[in-house]
Amino acid sequence: MKTILITGCSSGFGLETARYFLARDWDVIATMRTPRDDLLPPSDRLRVLALDVTDAESIRHAVEAAGPIDALVNNAGFGAASPVELTPMATLREVFETNTFGTIAVTQAVLPQFRKRQAGVVVNVTSSVTLKALPLIAAYRASKVAVNAFTESMALELEPFGVRARLVLPGRSPETSFGDNARAHMHGFDHEAYADLVQKVFAELSDASSPITHAHDVAEAVWRAVTDLSSPLHIPAGADAQAWAAAVRRD
């Protein structure tokens, strides 16, 4: 029986990924800052653990409680949106603390067991915006690009030990709490200098005809990353992410 630990399972991609692996007979350790037992179907193959990826003690306790695992999915994160000049440094640090340093810290806590067993896979969920520059999300995009670079180098380090690292790059999804979280960290959108740009960006994001990413797209991409030994390092998830990745390859 295989075991997977997934961070950020209270909603969105993490929750759907936990459901996906449960349905395929994996043992699932679903982690979230405030554990809830009502989000996933009752199962003797499910454990819900508390995990705050920005807290070293929380990480240590969760990894110890989890015991041996076969796969780690770093999904926890949040968005932020604001013009660069109006982004408080406190917000920038908070974004990196969760999205970047939190991912690295959880990975570091799990790698020793993978290396010793010479088996395991780390899947880091970042974003398709790492493939294409967009305005107003510089802090968020930078935090995710950093995880991409971290993962790419880590993959080379781990290869001699039989341990894999993969990246899943979701596109824009209305099925997550990303928008609500981002709104809580918006700054400067009422500044007259950026009014036209903000209006343009929001009009593009609200275009119902544009392709989007569904939560199950991400769950399927994570499944591929974990179970398919021939999967590529970068796996776009969702129609929009796949289109962006194709465009980058053409360029």
Query: Annotated catalytic sites, by residue?
Result: 140
Distances (CA, A) of 134 to 10, 187, 198: 27, 16, 12
| Cα gap 186→43, rounded to integer Å | 39
> What's the token pair of residue 15?
């929750």
Q: Which stretches of 34-88 are DSSP H helices?
A: 56-66
What are 99's two structure tokens? 């999205």
- What CA–CA distance (Å, rounded) separates 175 from 179? 9
Query: Would you state the structure tokens that stand for residue 229, as one six-digit string?
Result: 């030994």
User: Which is nearest to 18 in space by CA: 70, 77, 69, 75?
Assistant: 75
Element (H, E) at 248: helix 239-250
The DSSP output letter for 132 is S
- 80 and 144 in contact (C-beta within 8 Å)? no
